[in-house]
Amino acid sequence: AARRAFRARGLGRTRGRTGILLHLSLAEQHAEIVADTGILERVGDARWTTTLADLTAALRAGEAEAGLLRAIERIGAELARHVPAGPENPDELPNHVIVVE
């Protein structure tokens, strides 16, 4: 579902291939991060393991909001360190939460 949402929302269409999606299913208590190749080349999938484990633990503990905020902060910090926005890497995608019921 996460990869399908990534493609459907056009997150793979940035110039630097720097789209990223944090996909969260409250019903399944499952989270997944899908990052485009421009991010994976610099950060790698393994970097997200701890973030996802902590978010999943927060979901199970009934602390979805706090867990989601921590995950977003960590993802933002990694992106700022490895693929910072700037004149050569403008923020091409909206930064917002999309709720699908």
Q: Which residue has the higher pLDDT, 88 or 74?
A: 74
Q: Please give the pLDDT value at position 41.
A: 94
Dist CA 20 CA 56 (whole Å): 18
Q: What is the pLDDT of residues 30-83, one digit of tens each?
A: 999 999 999 999 998 888 999 999 999 999 999 999 999 999 999 999 999 999
E strands, the chain, where?
A: 20-25, 30-35
Structure tokens of 55?
Answer: 């978010």
Q: Which residue has the higher pLDDT, 97 or 10?
A: 10
Structure tokens of 94?
Answer: 């909206």
Q: Please give the pLDDT value at position 100.
A: 81
Q: Please give the pLDDT value at position 46.
A: 84
Q: Are 35 and 11 within 8 A, CB to CB?
A: no
Domains within the chain, CATH numbers bracketed: 2-82 (3.10.310.50)
Q: Please give the pLDDT value at position 44.
A: 80
